[in-house]
Amino acid sequence: MANQAVRVAAAARAAAKRADKARRAGRPEPISSRTLSVAPAIKPDISTEPAPDAATDPIHPKGPSSRRSGLLSAALAVLVVAGLAATTALALDHREAQRTDQARTDALAAARQAAPTILSYDYRHLDRDFTTARGHLTGSFLKEYGKTTKTVVAPTAKKYRGVVKATVAKPPGDDGSAAVSVVSASPDKAVILLFMNQVTKSTQITGPRVDLNRVRMTLTRTSEGWKVSAVDAL
């Protein structure tokens, strides 16, 4: 047992000498002679700074300034929408006014052309006169005109050789303008007031008779242009 202890001690001294020689020669120390140590693990510091408050977060601000910015954006959006709506309304109103002005012009011209034809006839060519007149009419008035001329006007005109010549009256001064005016107008309908001169001849009267009549004529826009939809003597 003693011998064994001596041998162990001798081996330890020999190992120490070899290690010392190795250190001097610059060779790595044998693992058996190293003193191994483990550095304590560095634990992460869990006491980190608190997360920035949402109200002061510079990246995602959600505080009072952010709310003010949101309200301003919403107000601007409302103003933009309101501005667009107002602009659209003005554009539509302007377009409607343009259409109405055009309707006044077109309906007035149509009335001046239609009135003499509708209110004139000659017993010698009634069918031709009535056919031409119907080309200016529309709606229920077209049917009414056809019925009246067939049952009343034609028989009377043939019997008494009636001839009626209607013209749009001229205002005093004879400045070339006709006595017509627009009572009301919309893009699809217009009411025109006309002063008409009617010269009538027949076997019932001696010589021509001149009548000055006021006529209110309603015109309606159709696919074929402005047509007369009603005529009222005033």
Percent of the chain exceeding pLDDT 90 equals 52
Segment 18-31 mean pLDDT: 56
Q: Would you say residue 60 lies in a domain?
A: no
pLDDT greater at residue 78 or residue 218: 218
Among the residue ranges 28-32, 84-88, 211-215, the one predicted with the least confidence is 28-32
176 pLDDT higher than 80: no
CA nearest 186: which of 221, 153, 213?
A: 221
CA–CA gap between residue 230 and residue 191 (Å, rounded): 9
Total-model pTM: 0.60
> What pLDDT score does 25 carry?
57
Segment 186-200 mean pLDDT: 96
Q: Would you say residue 73 lies in a domain?
A: no
Domain count across the chain: 1
Strand 180-186 relative to strand 163-168, pairing: unpaired
pLDDT greater at residue 140 or residue 50: 140
User: pLDDT by residue (tens digit) across 117-130?
Assistant: 999 999 999 999 99
Segment 16-43 mean pLDDT: 50
3-state secondary structure 14-32: HHHHHHHHHHHHCCCCCHH
> What pLDDT score does 32 carry?
44
**Residue 36 pLDDT grade (very low, low, confident, very high; cuts 50, 70, 90):** very low
pLDDT greater at residue 105 or residue 91: 105
Segment 95-102 mean pLDDT: 87
Among the residue ranges 28-37, 89-98, 224-233, the one predicted with the least confidence is 28-37
Q: Would you say residue 214 lies in a domain?
A: yes
Distances (CA, A) of 167 to 66, 115, 159, 171, 220: 78, 8, 24, 13, 22
Q: Would you say residue 111 lies in a domain?
A: yes
The whole-chain average pLDDT of the chain stands at 79
Q: Would you say residue 166 lies in a domain?
A: yes
> What pLDDT score does 98 carry?
87
Question: 207 lies in which domain range?
Answer: 91-233
Q: Would you say residue 45 lies in a domain?
A: no
CATH number of 180's domain: 3.10.450.230
Q: Would you say residue 67 lies in a domain?
A: no
> What pLDDT score does 14 carry?
65
Q: Environment class of residue 193 by beta-carbon count within 10 Å: exposed (0-12), middle (13-18) or buried (19+)? A: middle
Segment 68-83 mean pLDDT: 73
Q: Would you say residue 149 lies in a domain?
A: yes
